[in-house]
Amino acid sequence: MKPLADRIRPKEIEDIVGQRHLIGENKILSRILKSGYITNMIFYGPPGVGKTTVANIVANKTNKKFYKINATNSSLEDVKKIIKDLDSLECINGILLYLDEIQNFNKKQQQSLLEFMENGKITLIASTTENPYHYIYKAILSRSTIFEFKSIQKRDIIQGIKRSISIIKKDLFDINIMFDENAIEYVASVSGGDLRRAINSVELCVYSTNPNENGEIVVDIEKAKECTQKNILNYDKSGDSHYDILSAFQKSIRGSDPDASIHYLARLIKAGDLISICRRLLVIASEDIGMAYPNAITIVKSCVDSANQLGFPEARIPLAQATLLLATYPKSNSAYIAIDKALYELDTIDVGQIPNHIKDAHYSGAKNLGRGVQYKYPHDYKNHYVQQQYLPDNIKDSIYYSPADNKMERNIESYLKFIREH
């Protein structure tokens, strides 16, 4: 018997759970199917959200010969076999090729399809869980339309679960199945937006439960917890999810939202990604808090050192402390802006030579070269300050540091103004 997830797979676009932004009334995929004009398409999104189901439905709406291969266990030879069939009577209307997990094909394997995509003999529908802009050959991207499939909402997962239960009831027509509503809610909650995973959990719950004395299979929330895994986060240290979560983490701290900051920290902790957390906290301390609270970097460094020494699970506590400190302190990116301005000038203009009077003069003959001559030692002057030129002539009027509007930098601005005017 096929797995329940395959038996429940919808045959019509209207029966698909979720993806209303693509297949709802008058949405783009629905319009494409109604028109009958099928173009090259790339389906991008997490597992278990309907990519294969939609591809199968699209295939059934065309008069093309349908081939399906998985790039994980296929090779260039498999593609060549399909290409050979193009001249057969079966393929007189062309081929619709569904290439699952296309990111596992290298550039040469992907290129082998280009000629036939261009002349229309092969219409490609490819699916991938990875960002297509990072993994798919640009020439294929330019000839395809990308559709992003999203994680399925809990309410839609519940709908899919109830449909799967009704199918199992038909299979076990002589046994009454009672699936508790709380159990359904729980399975939907821990499925991580993956309907296939939810359906597999339902199947395991039913078939691993013995009928009671009344001949009924009763699945309560305890049975559901026993038969389902904890929610699995979509996280790959080399993939999109890694950078998306880190981005959300930093932007939440920068936006002074302690709750969102802790949420994304929790995601990173669940993934066990201690190195990335520590690196990001350290850079945030200077990039986003910086001169508004210069001691932030010191405190964060101490928290990071503690976390690395402790390891998980205890490391979560100093990491949370550092995160909350950064999220709730005043923000300033003046240090970040200052250094980037200076680096930009180095890349784009001739900044000129260091003024002679501040060049190194600690060697014999330095004065003969004009080094250190006319240098004014600030500590010999009132307020330990004296006006003199430090920047090269070509950029002597450049300003890199502009104090931000926070208590610490207002004090800095006042101090600089005071010593320059007195």
Q: How does DSSP classify residue 89?
A: G
In this predicted structure, the answer to whether residue 235 has a pLDDT above a threshold of 70 is: no
Please compute the mean of the pLDDT values over residues 79-85 and round it to a whole number: 81
Structure tokens at 367: 């004065």
Report pLDDT for 134: 82
Report pLDDT for 218: 85
What residues does 70 pair with on adjacent strands? 100
What residues does 219 pair with on adjacent strands? 179
Please tell me which residue, 231 or 63, carries the higher pLDDT value. 63
CB atoms within 10 A of CB 398: 13
Instruction: Please name which of 207, 144, 137 lies closest in space to residue 179, comparing C-alpha atoms.
Output: 207
What residues does 42 pair with on adjacent strands? 126, 146
Over residues 163-178, the pLDDT tens digits come to: 888 888 877 766 788 8
Please compute the mean of the pLDDT values over residues 221-242 and round it to a whole number: 67
**Three-class SS state of 313:** coil
Please tell me which residue, 348 or 212, carries the higher pLDDT value. 348
Q: How does DSSP classify residue 239?
A: S
Report pLDDT for 230: 60
Instruction: Please name which of 143, 122, 15, 113 lies closest in space to residue 65, comparing C-alpha atoms.
Output: 122
What does the alpha-carbon distance between residue 24 and residue 20 come to, in Å, rounded to a whole number?
A: 4
Share of the chain above pLDDT 70, in %: 96
Report pLDDT for 174: 66
Percent of the chain that is helix, strand, coil (3-state, to 5) = 55, 10, 35
Residue 300 — very low, low, confident or very high, per pLDDT cuts 50/70/90? very high
Tell me the one-letter amino acid at 130: E
Please compute the mean of the pLDDT values over residues 103-126 and round it to a whole number: 84
In this predicted structure, the answer to whether residue 234 has a pLDDT above a threshold of 70 is: no
In this predicted structure, the answer to whether residue 314 has a pLDDT above a threshold of 90 is: yes
What does the alpha-carbon distance between residue 407 and residue 59 come to, in Å, rounded to a whole number?
A: 64
Please compute the mean of the pLDDT values over residues 306-317 and round it to a whole number: 94
Report pLDDT for 414: 93
What does the alpha-carbon distance between residue 399 and residue 392 come to, in Å, rounded to a whole number?
A: 13
Report pLDDT for 309: 94
- Determine contact, residues 151/46, Cβ cutoff 8 Å: yes
Report pLDDT for 2: 67
Over residues 351-389, the pLDDT tens digits come to: 999 998 988 888 888 888 888 888 999 999 999 999 999
Instruction: Please name which of 99, 88, 89, 101 lies closest in space to residue 123, comparing C-alpha atoms.
Output: 99
Report pLDDT for 404: 92
Report pLDDT for 326: 96
Report pLDDT for 366: 81
In this predicted structure, the answer to whether residue 162 has a pLDDT above a threshold of 70 is: yes
Report pLDDT for 261: 95
43 membership: H or E segment, kind and range: strand 41-44
Residue 1 — very low, low, confident or very high, per pLDDT cuts 50/70/90? low
What does the alpha-carbon distance between residue 172 and residue 3 come to, in Å, rounded to a whole number?
A: 15
Over residues 27-46, the pLDDT tens digits come to: 888 888 888 788 899 999 88
In this predicted structure, the answer to whether residue 231 has a pLDDT above a threshold of 70 is: no
**Could you check whether the bond before residue 392 is cis, i.e. omega within 30 degrees of 0?**
no
- Determine contact, residues 129/50, Cβ cutoff 8 Å: no
Distances (CA, A) of 55 to 33, 44, 64, 233: 11, 12, 13, 25
Report pLDDT for 122: 83
Domains of the chain: 19-148 (3.40.50.300), 154-227 (1.10.8.60), 240-328 (1.20.272.10), 349-421 (1.10.3710.10)
Which alpha helices (H) appear in 195-333, and where do they start and end?
195-207, 221-227, 240-254, 258-270, 274-284, 296-310, 316-328
In this predicted structure, the answer to whether residue 232 has a pLDDT above a threshold of 60 is: no
Task: Please give the full DSSP string across 45-85, using - where no structure is assigned.
Answer: --TTSSHHHHHHHHHHTSSSEEEEEETTT--HHHHHHHHHG
Structure tokens at 278: 């520590």
What does the alpha-carbon distance between residue 408 and residue 296 come to, in Å, rounded to a whole number?
A: 12
Report pLDDT for 325: 96
In this predicted structure, the answer to whether residue 20 has a pLDDT above a threshold of 90 is: no
Please compute the mean of the pLDDT values over residues 4-10 and round it to a whole number: 75
Report pLDDT for 236: 55
Residue 217 half-sphere exposure, CB side, CA atoms within 13 Å?
A: 21
414 membership: H or E segment, kind and range: helix 407-421
Strand blocks (E) in 79-204: 95-100, 122-128, 145-148, 176-179
